[in-house]
Amino acid sequence: MNESSKKEYLDQLDRKIEEFKSKKKENRPKRLKVQNDGWRMVIELVTGMILGVSLGMALDYVVGSEPIFLIVFSLLGFMAGVKTMIATAKKMNETNN
Does 66 reside within a domain? yes
Residue 34 predicted with pLDDT over 70: yes
Share of the chain above pLDDT 70, in %: 88
Residue 96 predicted with pLDDT over 80: no
Question: What are the contacts of 67-75 at 24+ separation with CB within 8 A?
Answer: 74/49
Does 96 reside within a domain? no
Helix 3-63 to helix 68-96 angle (10° resolution) is: 150
Domain count, the chain: 1
Q: What mean pLDDT do residues 14-40 have?
A: 75
Q: Of 46, 40, 43, which Cα lies nearest the Cα of 74?
A: 46
At 16 the pLDDT is 87
Does 17 reside within a domain? yes
Does 97 reside within a domain? no
Q: Which domain holds residue 60?
A: 3-91
Which of the two residues, 97 and 69, has the higher pLDDT score? Answer: 69
pLDDT digits (tens, 9 = 90+) for 42-65: 999 999 999 999 999 999 999 998
